Amino acid sequence: MNDLHTGAPEPATEPELFVEFANTARLSAEPMADDSHDAEILATWLDEHGLPTAGRSRVTAQLPAFRGLRALVREVAARLDGGRQPTRAQIAAINRVLREGPHYHALRTEDGGAGFSVMPVGDELDQARSAIAGSLAHYLADHDLQRLRVCADDSCRWLFVDRSPAGRRRWCDMRTCGNRAKVARHRARARASA
């Protein structure tokens, strides 16, 4: 899918974290895929987005949870794209991910009470997933739900937020997917008139 989007990006808008996660964390949907490769991609993505990554082996161990969150984001987006609301089950699933996120600090004694240290308690990768789910939750609460779309190009299916004034965008990027659709229509017309 990546090679479809090598052109310059659309004019800058603030990207939603959950949209970026659904589109660029190119985790295979199937567990039998190459896990170490996926872990590498995911760790790099988390790092690039300022999210906690923990160690590579922990990222590998938590791949199923990230894949699950990615599937959830895409399912919610598909509902909205079809003009429907998220289901109760989807909302409960988002809340479960959010609940796993919080962490707290704990004061510990060291050297038999001679000193203290403060350590964060909680799983870094749970926090990363919670940040992604939080971005989705805030989007659902604060934005026009009809503007979250799934690209109409079947070979793409990226998520995007339609920020055009008219709100009728069908493709994630006019210069790639939109242009392919235009070329295909043009060819079909040429064939029909031939």
Binding residues for Zn ion, rule: CB under 5 A, are 151, 153, 156, 158, 172, 177
Cβ–Cβ under 8 Å, residues 74 and 22: yes
| Virtual torsion, Cα 111, 112, 117, 123, nearest 10 deg | 100
Nearer to Zn ion, 133 or 156 (CB): 156
Shortest distance in whole angstroms from residue 6 CB to Zn ion: 13
How far apart, in whole angstroms, are the C-alpha atoms of residue 180 and residue 188? Answer: 12
Nearer to Zn ion, 39 or 156 (CB): 156
Q: Which residue has the tokens 């295909």?
A: 184
Map tokens 């079809």 to a residue: 82
We find the least distance from the C-beta atom of residue 118 to Zn ion, in angstroms, to be: 46
Of 72 and 151, nearer to Zn ion (C-beta) is 151
Structure tokens at 84: 């429907």
CB of 151 to Zn ion, least distance (A): 3
